[in-house]
Amino acid sequence: MKDYYRILGLGEDAGQQDIKKAFRRLAFAHHPDRNPGQERQAEENFKEINEAYGVLSDPGKRRQYDLARKGRFAGVPGFGYSQQDIFRDAFSNRKATEELMRMFGQAGLRFDQDFLNRVFFSGSGSAFRGSRSADGVEARRPGFFSRLVLKGLAGMGGFALRRLLGVEMPSPEKDLDQQMDLEISAAEAAAGEEKAFTCGRGDDARKLMVRIPKGVKPGTKIRLRGMGLKRDGKSGDLYLRVRVTG
């Protein structure tokens, strides 16, 4: 049984704020983007840190984990969550995951869908929890990635989503969020600066300015609040996915 307290450098009496603070410190230090040349080991460390946080930050899982650790030699049932279970549950919490996306994104570190899928789910798209239908056929219940897709964050075509993930895209008019690529040079990515770009076409074209974080990594998504589609007095958000050229 893994020692999640040791992984985060905490005692068993650690409070939730201590757990969160330790996670953030270690997650930044071991993020693969912060460890060039040692990405593979960094990814393993990063996964362990997220796994530990996924258990200790969840009161129910932490309670079961503590009981399993203390009573595993006395016939108490063990800890019943696999690493994949922990990741699926953790990333199905949309609010918490979006907070992490913002946290890493502001530091120019990747934490978008492609990164999560590759690092935590081995690129298998397995962020969908399996369930069985009445006829015994395996069915997929959309989890974290599905909801991001439905908000327009996935950046994949409807055909690819149906073929790879079994997700039906909503019609565009039902979603006010937009996503587009923002191409910048390697020099712009390294230095960070404000960059002008044009959003939309024809009469709908708008010129906007975006601040690029210093050292931003390819694939990072920058969120512009209220810059998406507008309808009935409501405005969606615009998500810019950074592409570094040259």
**Domains, the chain, with CATH or none:** 4-120 (1.10.287.110), 128-174 (no CATH), 176-246 (2.60.260.20)
> Does residue 136 surpass a pLDDT of 50?
no
| 104 closest CA partner among 219, 186, 191 | 219
**What mean pLDDT comes out for the span 179-194?**
84
* Three-state SS at 113: helix
Q: What is the DSSP code string of 167-187?
A: -PPPPGGG---EEEEEEEEHH
Sorting pLDDT into bands at 50, 70 and 90, what band is 193?
A: confident
Evaluate if pTM is beyond 0.75: no
Between 100-104, 176-180, 184-188, the lowest mean confidence (pLDDT) is in: 176-180
Q: Is the pLDDT of residue 56 over 70?
A: yes
Residue 144, C-beta contacts closer than 8 angstroms, at least 6 positions apart: 88, 91, 92, 93, 94, 97, 127
Distances (CA, A) of 135 to 132, 138, 139, 166: 8, 9, 10, 18
Question: Where does residue 52 rank: exposed (0-12), middle (13-18), buried (19+ CB within 10 A)?
Answer: buried
Q: Are 48 and 120 in contact (CB under 8 A)?
A: no
Nearest to 173 by CA among 152, 188, 192, 155: 152
The amino acid at 109: L
Residue 130 pLDDT > 70: no
